[in-house]
Amino acid sequence: MTDCLFCRIVARESSADIEYEDDRVVAFKDIYPKAPLHVLVVPKRHIDGIQTMERGDAEDIGRCLYAARQIAERAGYGDRGYRVTVNCGAEGGQQVYHVHFHLVAGRRGTRA
């Protein structure tokens, strides 16, 4: 997926402020942060979105959530709490079609 922005960030072909990396996951600061902590957590392997994920994608998706927990705790939000959200498809507000979890903390926001 060479035309995918987040694949290019994973491959270090586009710049990003990388906060976390392991064998399956990369996380980087959102370029337009909506809270003091706003990180995007993505699987290294390209998956378009939750709306098209397959059973075999579940481990990478789950690893993103576990990475989000680790990033939030390292940033000091483990006890305070934080939000992890994913926008799915056009009416879900998804703009980048490489699945990503928004990890948002440090500001009280609207609830789902």
User: Which residues are catalytic, by number?
Assistant: 100
Nearest to 77 by CA among 41, 39, 105, 107: 105
Lay out the site mask for ligand AMP across 39-68 (x = CB under 6 A, - = otherwise): -x----------------------------
Q: Does 96 bind Zn ion (CB under 5 A)?
A: no
Nearest to 6 by CA among 111, 96, 105, 67: 96
Q: Rounded to whole angstroms, what are the CA distances from 19 to 3, 26, 55, 84, 92? A: 23, 8, 28, 16, 26
Closer to ligand AMP by Cβ: residue 1 or 55: 1
The β-bridge relationship of strands 18-21 and 101-105 is unpaired
Member of 24, 29, 45, 46 binding Zn ion (CB under 5 A) = 46
Shortest CB 84 distance to ligand AMP, Å: 12
Member of 32, 54, 90, 112 binding ligand AMP (CB under 6 A) = 32
